Amino acid sequence: MDHRPERTASFHRRGVARALMLVLMMAVLPIAALAASNGQASGQGNAAKAPVGITVTLSPSSRTVDQGQSTTFTVSATSTGGFTGPVTFTTTGLPAGASASIAPSSVSLTSGGTAQATLTVGTATTTPVAKTDFTVKAGNGTIVSNAAPGQLQVLEVKRNFGVTGSVNGLLAPGVSRSVELQISNSGNKGIAVTNLSVAISQVVRTPAAIAANLPCSAADYKLTQYAGAYPLTVEPGVRTLSALGVPESGWPRITMYDTPQLQDGCKGATIQLTYSGTGQGN
């Protein structure tokens, strides 16, 4: 029997199958490439989109205030990811005795917009003397901002006190005299004095020196400032440097220069001194 027609028919069927497979592959490849392209575009779009939220900043980041006084910060709230709507502020972490108020208490944000408010921090006379970190947030329902950091440094209240002095002895060319200071604390609590200074405000010549046109001025004298230890603890009342245990070597001193020029104009002259100082309550 002759089988050649069967082999010819079988070859023909295999050829059709291969041709059909090739056509299917050509049809599928563009679709797969398009799907891959669409997937990349979709992923890039999702990565570029910021989450809906609020960002808060505080300016300046740190303030210094005396006990019992108040200070202010500027709070800025910015919309991210297209957020819109009102937000309210909260402050946490302030020291004992301190209080916070924000005006306005609520601001309205547009998409991508920024709004500002003023944070006023008040302290009490009992607020601890220290540096304290605190935070400010803004929120709307379940949407809460970052915690913007801030710092408040509270200082002791400075006390008022008086300072006077007297020169121990008379001056002459080349002579130096110590100046005894007296510190008057009129309050009912002790003061920690942290600075004392003396200055020459005026030199008053005698009428005879003025009539004879004999000069004398502050340039004829030299002042050496207080060189004792700080702080000086001064209880209520009047205390001298000697009563406070400061040795005379640490007192201020005034010296009259011995110059080649005639200094008769300084005979009998009166030197007016001014005194100043700073201190804090104990």
Q: What angle do CA 103, 99, 159 make, to 5 degrees?
A: 115
Q: Give the span between the Cα atoms of 110 and 149, in whole angstroms.
A: 24
Mean pLDDT along residues 120-147:
94
Tell me the Ramachandran region of residue 187: left when phi exceeds 0, alpha when psi lies from -120 to 50, beta otherwise: beta
- The three-state DSSP-derived secondary structure of 198-256 is EEEEEEECCHHHHHCCCCCCHHHEEEECCCCCCCEEECCEEEECCCCCCCHHHCCEEEE
Q: Hunting for tokens 């300016």 — which residue is that?
A: 59
Helix (H) or strand (E) holding 264: none
Report the pLDDT value the prediction gives residue 221, as an integer from 0 to 100. Answer: 97
DSSP letter for 187, please: S
Mean pLDDT along residues 117-126:
93
User: Is residue 173 over pLDDT 70?
Assistant: yes
User: Is residue 106 over pLDDT 90?
Assistant: yes
pLDDT in tens, 187-238: 888 888 989 999 999 999 999 999 999 999 999 999 999 999 999 999 999 9
Provide CB contacts within 8 A for 122, sequence distance 6+: 69, 70, 98, 99, 100, 101
The side-by-side arrangement of strands in the sheet containing 99-103 is 53-59, 70-80, 114-122, 99-103
Higher pLDDT, 29 or 141: 141
pLDDT in tens, 146-165: 999 999 999 877 778 999 99
pLDDT in tens, 8-65: 444 444 544 444 444 444 444 454 444 444 444 444 445 567 899 999 999 999 999 9
Pairing of strands 148-155, 62-66: parallel
Mean pLDDT along residues 249-270:
95
CATH 2.60.40.2310, domain 53-155, yes or no: yes
Other CB atoms within a 10 A radius of the CB of residue 4 amount to 7
Spatial CA neighbour of 275 closest among 179, 156, 205: 179
CATH 1.20.120, domain 162-281, yes or no: no
Which structure tokens are listed for 165?
A: 């002095």
Q: Give the span between the Cα atoms of 51 and 48, in whole angstroms.
A: 10
Q: Which residues pair with 278 in a beta bridge?
A: 195
Tell me the average pLDDT of the chain. Answer: 86
Mean pLDDT along residues 254-281:
92
User: Is residue 144 over pLDDT 90?
Assistant: yes
Q: Give the span between the Cα atoms of 160 and 191, in whole angstroms.
A: 9
**pLDDT > 70 in the chain, percent:** 82
Which structure tokens are listed for 183?
A: 């510190």
Q: Hunting for tokens 């020196």 — which residue is that?
A: 209
Answer whether 282's CB lies under 8 Å from 189's CB.
yes
Across 16-25, 98-107, 176-185, least confident range:
16-25
pTM for the full predicted model: 0.48
Peptide bond into 95 cis (omega under 30): no
Answer whether 178's CB lies under 8 Å from 273's CB.
no
Report the pLDDT value the prediction gives residue 153, as an integer from 0 to 100. Answer: 95
Mean pLDDT along residues 87-96:
97
- Residue 41: what residue type? A
